[in-house]
Structure 1
Amino acid sequence: MHLNLGQVTLIDLVEQVERKEVLINKEYQRGSGLWPDSARSYFIDTILEGYPFPKIYLYQIFNEMVNRPIKEVVDGQQRLTTIIDFYSNKFRLTSASRDYKGMKFEDLDDDAKQRFISYQIEVSTILSAKRSELLEMFRRINAYTAPLSAAEKRHATYQGAFKWFVVEMSDKYSPALEGLKVFTSKQLARMHDSEFIADLILALESGIVQKSASSIEKLYKKYEKEFPHSDYYYEVIDSFFQVLATDFEPLYDTFMMKSYALNSLFCAYTHCKFGLPGVEQFTDVRPDLEFKIDKERVLPKLEELASAHENQDEDGEHKVYVKACMSSTTKAPQRRARFKVLCDVLTH
């Protein structure tokens, strides 16, 4: 078999489909249907913002009916169908596209339209191959792919409302998580930020519970079709990141930026302001929408906790918090211990 590697402008590929020089063969279609609007919007936004996406594979065959070679799309059908539908004004972009929300192609300004139709798509055309060789080719490509993390598997499996809410939130806050050294760039590439955001939502749904792959996956399943709490959860998470960027700035470069400690700080702050379910047995703090951080009183105490954690001081004044940070940090008992201490610090 032979591969012809190249690039084609988006509009040229669309016109090849319109002229039936490139066919979308449903036999190669994977999955149980079209992407939801949130997924399609995120993909179109990828193009409008000039980011790359994986190449499209075409399979060239000779069509005896028209007596000429034609190409079939063997990998990339959802991408190509989404491009054609948007170019044909068949759907509006959702909030998954921050700068173009609510727009069809015809609503874009001239510069955005030009960027869209001129986008360079990487294409590999498979020549002189049997169907069995196609299958073997994709098997070999996948053989060199690193095993997927739990977060990557979920995002490959689910295409519903919850998945795209997590994607949107991760896009917004991953620069902060990297800048604060909560996660490394390598960890972000393996979707640790998405895992972190989903875990925050787990707390909003269930309170202080153990993090597990199954508990997070249940959220993806539960909210596959729709996610009615998205606006409220966006407000809550955004409120915390705003405070993190302002009131909590002195905590940067401390052990309070460890992912599990930051999770507990989110839970404590969120309960003090908005309330978390099922935490009455851990703290007597009652939520108050007017809650604000008393920086002069609170920050020195949080810095003390972070320092005790860094020094692994399991016998000192903050031993309860430190011990809850030393092992099994995502299990419920450790999370509850950190949560209670942090609630006390924020309110007393």
Structure 2
Amino acid sequence: MYKEEITLFEIIPTRTEPNQTIFDWYKRKEKINFNPPYQRVSGLWDLSGKQLFIDSLINGFDIPKFYVHRMLSTEKGYLYSIVDGKQRMQSIFDFIGNQFPLSKDFVLYENGSDKLAGKYYEEIASSYPKIINRFDQYVLDVVQIITEDEELIRELFLRLNEGVNLNNSEKRLSKNSYLNEKIKEIVNTNKFFEMIQFKNRRYEHEELLTKIVLLEHEEEFVSLSKTNLDKLIERYVYSDEKIDRTLYSVNSLLEDMTEIFEGREPILSQKSIIPIYYLFVKRNYRGNSKQIAEFLITFEDIRYENRKLDISHSNPILIEFDRLNQQGANSKNSIKKRYTIIEDFYNVFLTGKIKINAVTELNDIDLDE
């Protein structure tokens, strides 16, 4: 007789287990995975947000529950993964680790004292041990989920965050996918992502890399739409020879771009233009990093000078390039037009010094397309 297999899924309610104090969890910090695939990138809370949360704990206010996945197997040495409460738990650990002090406006409500204001954990522990002991013994509301089914954990994460308006990148990167893991790995190891001039808030670096991988994978101009990015991630849930070749090519070229852009990082401040730079370098780099770098700096300079001109004297091609960087930058036509513009200016650059009006028309692309 067929017996249906039942997936283990158990929720251990809040405060039903011993050893749930702040300091108990701090002692487990090395066993906690803060970055499972479905989690957001660290750093969403600023200093004031962290300080306000610690203020609430010291003053004994009630705080929301934490949700953790308690693992049945200790893969990579972890016993727990944070499902919900990552920023709060990190704030606690950072405070105990003396990475930030209480705010300068801190007041202990029980007696109105401001003597703790601006002090670090170790300073408070030294001068006011009773307060730190009370903080350490604060019992956290930690709901533990026991299951081997990661899809159930992802579903729980998304439900808990329904009111947080997860962006497309966060939803995409929460999926269990081989390609997702490789994208995160490259972002964390390739030095190019240390050079770009915007912070990795809410998976912005992973989103950029996913777009670059799509361009490399398709080997042609393609829309960088949400639909296409989602399809790419869903296609490579498991390892595959083609995507491995694509990732190798991307990682290698980004290493070359690190050399090209070294000392020129400010031109990597606009997210929408970096995929165009990637295509340009891919098609023109032959070990000539100095030449490529000189051109890109020159191209940025003439775009800047063009913006300062009266419209009647400015170059419409460069105006269009700027517009396409801001409007519909992910469309196939926008990518093709911007690449063609930068390539045409590069061809003039190779013959001598380029000026704002070096290219005033595109022969093969209609700007009104």
TM-score of the two chains, using structure 1 as the length reference: 0.52
Describe the shift of the 1:295–1:193 C-alpha distance in structure 2 as closer, same or farther (beyond 3 A): closer
From the two aligned structures, give the one with the greater strand fraction: 1
Describe the shift of the 1:296–1:171 C-alpha distance in structure 2 as closer, same or farther (beyond 3 A): closer
Describe the shift of the 1:297–1:291 C-alpha distance in structure 2 as closer, same or farther (beyond 3 A): closer
The match for 1:269 among 262, 268, 281 is 281
Aligned to 2:339: 339
Measure, in 2, the Cα distance between the counterparts of 1:222 and 1:314. Answer: 46
The match for 1:227 among 240, 243, 246 is 240
Contact kept, 8 Å, 2:329 with 2:335, in 1: the verdict is yes
Gaps of 5+ in 1: 14-39, 45-73, 89-121, 128-137, 274-288
Contact kept, 8 Å, 1:160 with 1:223, in 2: the verdict is yes
Q: Is 1:163 matched up with 2:180? A: yes
1:251-262 matched pairs, under 5 angstroms: 251-254=264-267, 257-262=269-274
Contact kept, 8 Å, 1:155 with 1:163, in 2: the verdict is yes
Measure, in 2, the Cα distance between the counterparts of 1:240 and 1:314. Answer: 37
Aligned to 2:86: none
Describe the shift of the 1:214–1:308 C-alpha distance in structure 2 as closer, same or farther (beyond 3 A): farther
Counterpart code for 2:178: A
Aligned to 2:131: none
Q: Is 1:191 matched up with 2:207? A: no
Counterpart code for 1:307: Y
Aligned to 1:154: 172
Contact kept, 8 Å, 2:306 with 2:314, in 1: the verdict is no
Contact kept, 8 Å, 2:179 with 2:233, in 1: the verdict is yes
SS of the equivalent of 1:247 reads helix
Aligned to 2:255: 242
Over 6 Å off, 4+ runs: none
Aligned to 2:212: 200
SS of the equivalent of 2:71 reads helix
Measure, in 1, the Cα distance between the counterparts of 2:173 and 2:181. Answer: 9
Describe the shift of the 1:10–1:330 C-alpha distance in structure 2 as closer, same or farther (beyond 3 A): same
Aligned to 1:172: 189
TM-score of the two chains, using structure 2 as the length reference: 0.49
**Offset of 1:2 from its aligned partner?**
5.6
Number of equivalences: 227
Q: Is 1:218 matched up with 2:231? A: yes
Aligned to 1:80: 71
Measure, in 1, the Cα distance between the counterparts of 2:224 and 2:338. Answer: 14
Counterpart code for 1:154: R
Gaps of 5+ in 2: 1-12, 38-65, 79-138, 145-155, 351-369
Measure, in 1, the Cα distance between the counterparts of 2:30 and 2:290. Answer: 56
Structure with the greater alpha carbon radius of gyration: 2
Contact kept, 8 Å, 1:199 with 1:216, in 2: the verdict is yes
Q: For residues 160-203 of structure 1, what are the alpha-carbon distances to aligned partners after superposition, in whole Å with 9 as ceiling and x for unaligned?
A: 21111111122235x7546532x23xxx2311111100000111
Measure, in 2, the Cα distance between the counterparts of 1:325 and 1:43. Answer: 38
Describe the shift of the 1:81–1:201 C-alpha distance in structure 2 as closer, same or farther (beyond 3 A): same
SS of the equivalent of 1:191 reads helix
Aligned to 1:33: none
Describe the shift of the 1:152–1:246 C-alpha distance in structure 2 as closer, same or farther (beyond 3 A): same
Measure, in 1, the Cα distance between the counterparts of 2:181 and 2:311. Answer: 41
Root-mean-square deviation over aligned CA pairs: 4.3
Counterpart code for 1:216: L
Measure, in 2, the Cα distance between the counterparts of 1:12 and 1:199. Answer: 33
**Offset of 1:266 from its aligned partner?**
0.8
Contact kept, 8 Å, 2:257 with 2:281, in 1: the verdict is no
State the identity as a percent: 11
Describe the shift of the 1:267–1:319 C-alpha distance in structure 2 as closer, same or farther (beyond 3 A): same
Describe the shift of the 1:11–1:263 C-alpha distance in structure 2 as closer, same or farther (beyond 3 A): closer
Measure, in 2, the Cα distance between the counterparts of 1:260 and 1:153. Answer: 20
